[in-house]
């Protein structure tokens, strides 16, 4: 077994780290190419025969998810492992919806990297333990034409409205006044938001809102 691998990450220390980890795990993993951004990945795929690509999710010029989508449209047989600093449901679902076979968070244990590559090479999927729970959500959602639409996350209009106000620091009581609905209804919306986003504290909610550009810091 000789697995040909392409590594894509804009940080040289990360690429170096992955290469070293793969070397330390044995002889079967061979890094045949490296890229600094998504467009470079697509170009390199014309030159090299690659079995598995490891794509950082946040690369300049063409991000990892978009790269996944385009790459697999051209070459469905290639396996993609997404490498990400984020372990939120949305990123994982997007990755799976776009056809990635693996999802590794960056603080994964060393052995995980090899396990993930071997698994996707065999045709399985591999998700880091901290995000494995989103696999169910994804397949469940797929029944209702999920994954097809770009909006993998499905907050309703009112929920987004409440989310923004929560993230901006309003209390439920204040939001009720603001939106002219009752305190109870606000709480229901918040419950639904938290359930959908798998968030359990307002602090996490604020960081989510900032990351998603719903509010600016």
Q: Which residues bind DNA (CB under 7 A)?
A: 144, 154, 156-159, 171-173, 179, 181-185, 187-191, 194-195, 200-202, 205
Number of residues that bind a second copy (CB under 8 A): 37
Rounded CA-CA distance 84/217 in Å is: 22
- Residues 119 and 112: beta-carbon distance below 8 Å: no
- For residue 25, give Cα distances in angstroms to 29, 30, 104, 110, 205: 8, 11, 17, 9, 39
- Residues 84 and 100: beta-carbon distance below 8 Å: no
Q: Does residue 178 bind a second copy (CB under 8 A)?
A: no
Q: Give the shortest CB-12-to-DNA separation in angstroms.
A: 29
Query: Please, which residues bridge with residue 126 across strands?
Result: 102
Burial class (CB in 10 A: 0-12, 13-18, 19+), 76: exposed
- Residues 103 and 82: beta-carbon distance below 8 Å: yes
Which listed option, a second copy, DNA, none, makes contact with residue 177 (CB within 5 to 8 Å by class)?
A: none
- Residues 88 and 112: beta-carbon distance below 8 Å: no
Which listed option, a second copy, DNA, none, makes contact with residue 179 (CB within 5 to 8 Å by class)?
A: DNA
Q: Does residue 177 bind a second copy (CB under 8 A)?
A: no
Q: Out of 25, 31, 32, 36, point to the residue binding a second copy (CB under 8 A).
A: 36
Rounded CA-CA distance 28/44 in Å is: 21
Binders of a second copy among residues 101 to 130 (CB under 8 A) are 106-110, 113
Which listed option, a second copy, DNA, none, makes contact with residue 198 (CB within 5 to 8 Å by class)?
A: none
User: Which range binds a second copy by CB under 8 A, 14-22, 67-75, 88-96, 184-192?
Assistant: 14-22
Which listed option, a second copy, DNA, none, makes contact with residue 43 (CB within 5 to 8 Å by class)?
A: none
Binding residues vs a second copy (CB under 8 A): 10-21, 36, 83, 85, 106-110, 113, 166-169, 171, 201-207, 210-211, 215, 217
């Amino acid at each position: 077994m000789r697995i040909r691998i392409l590594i894509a990450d804009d940080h040289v220390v990360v690429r170096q780290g992955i290469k070293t980890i793969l070397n330390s795990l044995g002889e079967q993993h061979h890094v045949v190419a490296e890229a600094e951004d998504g467009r470079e990945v697509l170009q390199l795929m014309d030159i090299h025969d690659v079995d598995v690509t490891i794509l950082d999710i946040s690369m300049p010029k063409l991000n990892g998810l978009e790269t996944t989508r385009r790459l697999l449209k051209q070459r469905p047989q290639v396996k993609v492992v997404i490498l990400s600093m984020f372990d939120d449901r949305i990123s994982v679902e997007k990755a799976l919806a776009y056809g990635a076979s693996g999802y590794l968070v960056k603080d994964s244990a060393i052995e995980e990297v090899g396990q993930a590559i071997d698994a996707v090479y065999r045709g399985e999927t591999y998700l880091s333990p901290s995000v494995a729970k989103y696999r169910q959500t994804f397949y469940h959602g797929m029944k209702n034409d999920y994954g097809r639409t770009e909006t993998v996350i499905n907050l309703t209009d009112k929920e987004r409205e409440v989310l923004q106000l929560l993230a901006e620091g309003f209390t439920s009581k204040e939001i009720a006044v603001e939106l002219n609905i009752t305190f109870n209804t606000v709480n229901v919306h918040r419950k639904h938001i938290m359930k959908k986003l798998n968030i359990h504290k307002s602090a996490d909610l604020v960081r989510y809102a900032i990351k998603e550009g719903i509010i600016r810091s």
